[in-house]
Amino acid sequence: MTRTMTGSEAASRLAGLEADGVWVVGGAVRDALAGIEPERFDLDLAVVGAESWARSAGNLLGAPAARISARFDIWRIVLADGQFDVWELPDGDIERDLRRRDFTVNAMAVPLDRFRHGEFDASLNDPLGGRSDVGPRRLRLVSDGVLREDPLRLLRAVRLEAEGGWRPDAELREAMRRDASLIERAAAERQWDELRRIVLSERLPWALRRMERSGLLDIVVPELGRCRGVEQRPVHRRDVFWHQIDAVRWLSRLTASQPPRGLSAATIWGELAPLLEQDEVRGPLEDWRLALRLATLLHDIGKPETRTVDEDGSTHFFGHSELGAELAAERLRSLRVPTQTIGQVGLLIEQHLRPGQVNSPGQPPTGRALHRFHRALGEAAVPLCWLFLADSLATAGSEALLPRWPAYAGHVARIVGWRPQDRGRGGVMLDGHAIMAATGLEPGPLVGEIRAKIDEAAAVGEVAGIDEARELARRLADESRVLTKTQE
């Protein structure tokens, strides 16, 4: 099998196709000037005769070029660690192309051969002064109408701030507030491409504030907007909307690899640090990073429709977890989010109260309760516990929760650290056929119920061998027969 070429290898191989009309444009130039090391090798190339050049480049690299836009003449060559996107450059006029882009730091170009060698000073084409915005990491509009020309640029501005710290200037901030409603014109798939990167970014809490201040958040996720002003006192400090924003802020701190700023936040993180060092914890948190962040942001969106108030003023939200999971699934489907991610988000939202209910108040969770928890949640057990912790901190606040925080951390440690006890040399798991042979039962739901009870008994050490498993199966079957006769 032929190995797929990396980006740096591919760039070197393209030397034979370099010409005066092949320009590296956009983000690659911006990040190179800013000293940002890209995680992926992604280059946008502006070329006269994009299709012909892309096909020739693809043949040279052993990676066929494919058209990726029905509206624009854009061709993509996929590499092992990134891609080339090749754009048509009408009439070879690079300056006109740059003046039609979004932000000044994206409106710079360098010939491909110069870019490969890091030679920018004499070859940089910068008609709008974008280089002066690189140092202060400033996002400035190329022209007043660029957001209306392509409303997706509204989310792109947020994503650039979230990923690289590129801060919109005053003019851009005002334009985002003015044009926020236009984001609905952008294709759902394109919105999700930007949102996914925003949600995964290290600056997600700041990005959410930018979206909130511009009005984008209420439009992209209207279910969140409906949570504004929905009070839930006396237990919660803030309304439902700000509670969820706070929960995301705490989640980003609780999953950080280094202590966050602030004494209380660092102390809270420190209680979890030993867990975060364990592969069994860090692995699921990374694997579920996208779903966990989305679920934390949306975990209470079912509350506005389920809110009730007692005569004494106490508020209740019965069924909000189940409704919230349904609402989140509808919204994410409308954004064309992958089915697997939607399922993960729904599971976390529906079950987000469960870690706090796994034991009786003031009592440690039993082995049976932990077995049922892990059997129901599987690999979601760890991320669900971190959602529970972020939810708890957003509810009470760090000051109120800090004295009790070691107990919270210990509770989660017991949940995620639980493992079934040794099942003995011969094993105790009986399949359906073995259970029917031991009990004389016919196929049916009762066989599955008995198997689950044997599994649970084995997990907590109450069954130590195959003979004990068969005996338990017979006893459970007899009890069921007696109950059936009594009911008759």
Q: What is the pLDDT of residues 153-183, one digit of tens each?
A: 999 999 999 999 999 999 999 999 999 999 9
Confidence band of 67 (pLDDT split at 50, 70, 90) = very high
- Regarding whether 50 and 176 lie in a shared domain, the answer is no
Is residue 212 domain-resident? yes
Position 462 pLDDT exceeds 80 = no
Looking at the structure, tell me whether residues 35 and 114 fall in a common domain: yes
**pLDDT, greater one: 86 or 475:** 86
Q: Are residues 123 and 163 in the same domain?
A: no
Q: In CATH, what number is assigned to the domain containing residue 216?
A: 1.10.110.30
Residue 155 has a pLDDT of 98
Residue 3 sits at φ, ψ, to 5 deg, of -75, 135
Q: Does any domain span residue 426?
A: no
Q: Quote the percentage of the chain above a pLDDT of 70.
A: 93
| Beta strands, E only, 256-414 | 308-309, 315-316
pLDDT tens sequence across 89-107: 988 899 999 999 999 999 9
HSE toward the beta carbon, residue 240, CA cutoff 13 A: 25
In whole angstroms, what is the distance from residue 369 CA to residue 376 CA?
11
The verdict on 149 and 128 lying in the same domain is no
Does residue 416 have a pLDDT over 60?
yes
For position 423, what pLDDT does the model report? 47
- Whole-number pLDDT of residue 280: 95
Highest mean pLDDT among 49-53, 344-348, 417-421, 445-449: 344-348
- Give yes or no for a cis peptide into 90 (omega within 30° of 0): no
Q: By mean pLDDT, which of 168-182, 205-219, 399-413, 469-483 is the weakest?
A: 469-483
User: 247 with 284, same domain?
Assistant: yes
| Residues 243, 385 within the same domain | yes
User: What is the pTM assigned to this prediction?
Assistant: 0.86
Averaged pLDDT, 247-269: 94
pLDDT of 1 over the 80 cut: no
Look at residue 7 in the predicted model and tell me its pLDDT: 47
How many Å apart are CA 228 and CA 217, to the nearest integer?
12
pLDDT band at 21 (very low <50, low <70, confident <90, very high): confident
Q: Quick one: tokens of 59?
A: 């043949």
Would residue 423 count as lying in a domain? no
Centroid of chain to Cα 226: 22
Are residues 346 and 324 both part of a single domain? yes
Strands 138-139 and 308-309: unpaired
Would 232 be classed as within a structural domain? no
For 99, the 3-state DSSP assignment is: helix
End of a domain among 186, 220, 254? 220
Query: 41 pLDDT exceeds 90?
Result: no
One domain for residues 354 and 294? yes
Both 170 and 23 in one domain: the answer is: no
Residue 438 lies in domain: 432-487
Question: Cβ-count burial of 168 within 10 angstroms (0-12 exposed, 13-18 middle, 19+ buried)?
Answer: buried
What is the rounded CA–CA span in Å between residue 134 and residue 165? 11
Tally of domains within the chain: 4
Domain co-membership, 177 together with 211 = yes
Q: Are residues 86 and 129 in the same domain?
A: yes
> Is residue 228 in some structural domain?
no
| pLDDT exceeds cutoff 80 at 270 | yes
pLDDT tens readout for residues 334-366: 999 999 999 999 999 999 999 999 987 778 888
The conformational region for residue 364 under phi > 0 = left, psi -120 to 50 = alpha, else beta, is beta
CATH number (domain holding residue 91): 3.30.460.10
Residues 108, 194: one domain? no
pLDDT digit string, tens, across residues 279-329: 999 999 999 999 999 999 999 999 999 999 998 888 999 999 999 999 999
Is 394 domain-assigned?
yes
State residue 363's pLDDT score.
Answer: 80
Average pLDDT over residues 230-246: 93
In a domain, 374, yes or no: yes
Residue 268 binned pLDDT confidence (cut-offs 50, 70, 90): very high
pLDDT tens for each residue of 210-227: 999 999 999 999 999 999
Tell me how many degrees the CA angle 172-175-181 measures, rounded to the nearest 5. 135
Strands ordered across the beta sheet of 41-47? 66-67, 74-79, 82-88, 41-47, 22-25, 109-111
pLDDT given at position 12: 67
Joined tokens for residue 463: 């069954």
* Mean pLDDT value across residues 2-26: 66
Q: What is the pLDDT of residue 422?
A: 56
